[in-house]
Copies of this chain bind each other. A is one copy, B any other.
């Protein structure tokens, strides 16, 4: 698992698209056990108001054509360490691995994920870290509203 994985590049694209839309720059991507991109998404709070479509839940939501059993063993790529809801979604859908761009600006669910047998990889990847750090500095009100 690395920052050049297709799933991570998709998550970065989603992060940038959200930023371009005036949204909260967090992107996610769900990749099946056999390597297929199932869903991609970004935080939608600013775009359509949804409080539950974060980067990761949005990626699952955009994989709605699949039965839930198809998520088993998937890898979730996310630019930012998950909130409790997104961590819970990963647990519910029997995710095998979570690849996190950065957990400097948010963290705390890594142990919960591991306790459910989910492998957690922290990339400490500079693009995700740079965008989110700048966003929190320049748009604190949007960030508080997540």
A interface vs B, CB < 8 Å?
48-53, 57, 60-61, 63-69, 71, 83-89, 91-93, 144-146
Which residues in B have their C-beta under 8 angstroms from that of A88?
83-89
The answer to whether A57 touches B52 (Cβ under 8 A) is yes
Alpha-carbon distance A125/B48, docked complex (angstroms): 35
Interface-central residue, A64, A69, A144, A145, by most chain B CB under 10 Å: A64
Cβ-defined partner of A68 (8 Å) among B57, B66, B145? B145
- Chain B minimum-CB-distance residue to A63: B51
Interface-central residue, A53, A65, A88, A92, by most chain B CB under 10 Å: A88
18 A-B residue pairs with CB within 8 Å: A49-B64, A51-B66, A51-B68, A51-B93, A52-B52, A52-B60, A57-B85, A68-B146, A83-B88, A83-B92, A84-B87, A84-B89, A84-B91, A84-B92, A85-B85, A86-B88, A87-B88, A88-B88
The answer to whether B89 touches A64 (Cβ under 8 A) is no
19 additional contacts, CB 8 Å, given A50-B61, A52-B53, A87-B88?
A48-B64, A49-B65, A50-B64, A51-B66, A51-B93, A52-B57, A52-B60, A52-B61, A52-B89, A57-B85, A69-B144, A69-B145, A84-B87, A84-B89, A85-B85, A85-B86, A85-B92, A86-B88, A88-B89
